[in-house]
Structure 1
């Protein structure tokens, strides 16, 4: 998806969700800990929120990140979480970044990464047993 279209769709979805909740831009900006202008720019599609902000917006409106990003029309979060809610938030962001990268790769590259990850896990498990 072209960057301009992506930002416009993201902004439209954020605005729609905000209006459905009856919030003003300043209300949401305060909840997110950002300026009203920054939030307004997200809605207008003139500024791209960072990944953590996207996650926080999804949390606030109880929708999936995938919905906000225009990857699905289904608003609800999956019952099966990709990662454990108890994981460190920074690790969760890193996992989301990896998922985003994988979505851009061809299937054979994803399969190669899966095999590498499995071998790395085996190696780390063996290393921990020797320690």
Structure 2
């Protein structure tokens, strides 16, 4: 992934506009746009400010093009982890199994889009796969259905649910990192 794509990915993940990032790193919006479009390379002080803004090591930006598939998969799991825990904290969306499956599918889609380029996703028929894989999510979550729908169940007491979600979502997403 190019540095520009990495910067755009981070900006979208944080839901920042180009204007906000440009202001925070003390460059013009046009200069920042050039960085994202790989028309110009940022200076080291700008890279340092970007790393501080996104709370990542400078090396992650300097080696953006050298990120391996494993690193991208780790990033996917990291983003998905934050999103899934937010769902779990909502007590499984009022104990509705079907809603939980749909929300996990949507969060996995958003997480994958935040770490993988659109061109790669389009080549792999991303939207079709993630729509039809909703059934797969229902299948892998089925063993937890009764516990999820039990309104008296404390979410933290359902063993292995989060681990199962991460394991299966990593398996589903792995083809996008080939």
TM-score, length-scaled by structure 1: 0.48
Higher relative contact order (CA 8 A, sep 6+): 2
TM-score by length of 2: 0.36
Larger radius of gyration: 2
